[in-house]
Chains A and B, each alone.
Chain A
Amino acid sequence: MFTATYVAQQLLNGIVLGSMYALLALGMTVVYGILRLINFAHGALVTVGAFTFFGIFVVLGWPFALALVAALVVGGVMGFLLDLVGYRKLRGGPEVSLLITSLGIYILLENFIKLLATPQPYAFRPPAFLVQLHNVGGVAFRTVDVFIVAVSVLIMVAFALFVKRTKLGIAMRATAESVEAAQLVGIGVNQVVAVAFVLGSAVAAITGFMWGAKYGQISYDMGFMAGVKAFVAIVIGGIGSIPGAMIGGFILGLVETLAVGFLPPGFAEYRDAIVFTLLILVLLLRPTGIMGRKEAV
């Protein structure tokens, strides 16, 4: 039936996809933890990052590292602005207002990109060294796969250290637990939320680059499903848990890839349906996810 190399190949693809979901889930869960906001606009930052890189590296022909840094910076700045202009005023009101606004912001960004870049998809050619093909024991992969997994792990470790060791990181966890108590010890909640948005959005922008480099194509609507699935990953991992978000991301990437790889050929087009069926099953059987605590209704 399936050979060992085929299985290894699928696992590898699943881990690569999972790394990207994990990165997105990370940024989303930090914001969710503090504001209880499913930030739909998070997915738009993926698109923004991909197009920023594309514009600078492919269109302008500037160096790779510069384009990468630019994507990071643009993502971070956008995150800051969205928080400042879009969400800050709505804090403390009904949670659903934040959700609706984030939908509006997503649509705004997506169509703004559509307007600038036209609706057609673009072939995304990363630098040659990233697309170089390798073969280890029959398992084929490109440098970009290694890049994605390595950078993702790096970001996740750095983030784990940040929330564990730095004062700002500890303050972030404290704010997620109780905004009022955080204010009472002198934490500027606006500042903490802004940092969460900036970091999460910058990481999402980098993920956009990864996504384009991995799949070779970018389009104005590429970020939507990625963003929504990142939230599915959070639910699987357990809402409110940072390690849970990462684990959930990897599980989701693996399930999605393996389902497509091992189900009969006709099922490939059901991959999104499979993801959401998994979501509904998790909500039915274990609503707290893998690592999560029970969340008050």
Chain B
Amino acid sequence: MRRWTSLPGGVKFLLGIAALFLVLFIANSTLNRYVLHVITLIGIYSVATTSLNLTNGYTGLFSLGHAGFMAVGAYVATLLTFPVRLRIAYNLPLLPSFLGGPEYQWPFLPALIVGGIVAAIAALFVGAPVLRLRGHYLSVASLGFMVIITTLAKGLKDLTRGAAGIQAIPRYTNIWWVYAWLVVTIYVIWRLLNSSYGRAMLAIRESETAAQSQGIHPMRYKLLSFVIGAFFAGIAGGLYAHFARSIRPYEFSFYMTFHIVIMLIIGGAGTLLGPTVGAAIVIALKYVLKPVEEGLGIYGLVEIIYALMLIGVMLWRPEGIAGGVNPLKFLMPKRKGGS
């Protein structure tokens, strides 16, 4: 039998998928609904964190607007799939006719993809002016974008029902949808990293000036990674909306961004599987600690622990938890002449 490590990357990837879905299948038929709920949520956040990883982990940009792109995806997908018979009752008349108007309810998959595309377009508009500047501007501008989006979601009451939010969203999201999208996200990023685009992105992370001197045009690659990251954030938002079945503007807040950042840092930025590991740790911890927090009435405990974990990882283990022991290391692009 051939050793695992000697198999080609593509074969390993397929075997990995098969194993993942086998595990999911067993889980789905043996575990209770509560645990499945948590597993599904982990999958959704894994998509979001993996997409953030593309911008933050591989290119060295630091976007804090991820929740904004998730909000865009969530609202767009929700408006498209919202049941026709409920549209009048829920008073959502503004859906433009080119998006189906009040008479047509979209199927889930195209609605998700359109949500992702709209998020990607939004990223294009935010990214274009900001990405040519130093990385810090992107952090604050993307945070600002998130504030603009949530304010719009609150203000455009005819489209979003304002602060009240949208309820009774059909529950399309399930464990299969979520993990299929996670596989797609990881696959796309893997392919991207192993293409010439990916190598250019990594070169930019190492040193922008050096990359430039090799004839790499940093702006193009930064924008690309930002836009693709936003697309998958939009997908994660759409999945989230059809999982939670209700969305409100304030959910897509700084805290949502912060949680995704924590998942990324704890899991290990710049690794393919790190985001998923981070999402699993952070969400599992939340479900363990939330009852403690509520039981003891110490509000803020969970966030304090998250914050301490984040600071601790930054100070003592900046490569994250999965960073050192990454089982999917073989998917990483090979550096020229490197180990």
Contact A232 B311 (CB under 8 A): no
Contact B141 A279 (CB under 8 A): yes
Residues of chain A from 73 to 121 with CB closer than 8 A to chain B in the complex = 86, 89-90, 93-97, 99-101, 103-105, 107-108, 110-112, 114-115, 118-119
Find A99's partner among B132, B136, B258 (CB 8 Å cutoff): B136
Residues of chain B from 131 to 148 with CB closer than 8 A to chain A in the complex = 132-137, 139-141, 143-145, 147-148
B162 CB → nearest A CB, Å: 9
Contact B147 A107 (CB under 8 A): no
Residues of chain B from 141 to 163 with CB closer than 8 A to chain A in the complex = 141, 143-145, 147-148, 151-152, 154-155
Contact A273 B147 (CB under 8 A): yes
CA distance A104 to B220 in the complex (A): 31
CA distance A206 to B294 in the complex (A): 33
Contact A99 B315 (CB under 8 A): no
Contact B135 A114 (CB under 8 A): no
- Residue A125 at the B interface, CB < 8 A? no
Could you say which of A54-62, A193-201, A280-288 contacts chain B? A280-288
Nearest to A115 among chain B residues (CB) is B300
Find B144's partner among A36, A89, A232 (CB 8 Å cutoff): A232
**Chain B residues near A94 (CB-CB < 8 A):** 60
Q: Which of B130, B137, B258, B304 counts the most chain A CB atoms within 10 A?
A: B137
- Residue B129 at the A interface, CB < 8 A? yes
B182 CB → nearest A CB, Å: 24
**Chain B residues near A269 (CB-CB < 8 A):** 151, 154-155
Contact A111 B304 (CB under 8 A): yes
**Chain B residues near A99 (CB-CB < 8 A):** 62, 136, 139
Find B311's partner among A93, A108, A275, A296 (CB 8 Å cutoff): A108
- Residue A228 at the B interface, CB < 8 A? yes
Find A104's partner among B60, B140, B311 (CB 8 Å cutoff): B311
**Chain B residues near A103 (CB-CB < 8 A):** 64, 258, 261, 310
A254-297 interface bits toward B, Cβ cutoff 8 Å, 1 = contact, 0 = none:
00000000000010011011011101100110010000000111
**Chain A residues near B137 (CB-CB < 8 A):** 235, 283, 287
Find A224's partner among B140, B254, B261, B262 (CB 8 Å cutoff): B254
Contact B134 A115 (CB under 8 A): no
B286-307 interface bits toward A, Cβ cutoff 8 Å, 1 = contact, 0 = none:
0000000000001111011011
Residues of chain B from 101 to 139 with CB closer than 8 A to chain A in the complex = 126, 129-130, 132-137, 139
B69 CB → nearest A CB, Å: 15
CA distance A104 to B134 in the complex (A): 22
Contact A108 B307 (CB under 8 A): yes
Majority-rule SS of B interface residues: helix
**Chain A residues near B144 (CB-CB < 8 A):** 228, 232, 275-277, 279-280
CA distance A114 to B254 in the complex (A): 16
CA distance A287 to B133 in the complex (A): 8
Contact A283 B129 (CB under 8 A): yes
CA distance A277 to B125 in the complex (A): 12
Q: A111-B300, A114-B299 are in contact. Are A101 and B315 (CB under 8 A)?
A: yes
**Chain B residues near A119 (CB-CB < 8 A):** 299-300
Q: A99-B136, A115-B301, A115-B304 are in contact. Are A273 and B148 (CB under 8 A)?
A: yes
Q: Which of A93, A104, A118, A224 counts the most chain B CB atoms within 10 A?
A: A104
**Chain A residues near B141 (CB-CB < 8 A):** 276, 279-280, 283
- Residue A38 at the B interface, CB < 8 A? yes
Contact A228 B143 (CB under 8 A): yes
- Since A220-B300, A287-B137 are in contact, a sample of 11 more A-B pairs with Cβ atoms closer than 8 Å, ordered by chain A residue number, is A38-B136, A38-B140, A103-B64, A104-B311, A104-B314, A272-B151, A273-B147, A276-B145, A280-B130, A297-B132, A297-B134
Task: Give the 9 A-B CB pairs with smallest separation, nearest first.
Answer: A276-B144, A111-B300, A108-B307, A104-B310, A284-B129, A273-B151, A114-B300, A107-B307, A111-B303
Please give the residue numbers on chain A whose beta carbons come within 8 Å of chain B beta carbons, in ascending order: 36, 38, 86, 89-90, 93-97, 99-101, 103-105, 107-108, 110-112, 114-115, 118-119, 220, 224, 228, 231-232, 235, 266, 269-270, 272-273, 275-277, 279-280, 283-284, 287, 295-297
A-B contact pairs, 21 of them (CB 8 A): A96-B62, A96-B135, A100-B265, A100-B310, A101-B315, A104-B307, A104-B310, A105-B307, A107-B303, A107-B310, A110-B303, A111-B300, A111-B307, A112-B304, A273-B147, A273-B148, A276-B147, A280-B144, A280-B145, A287-B133, A297-B132
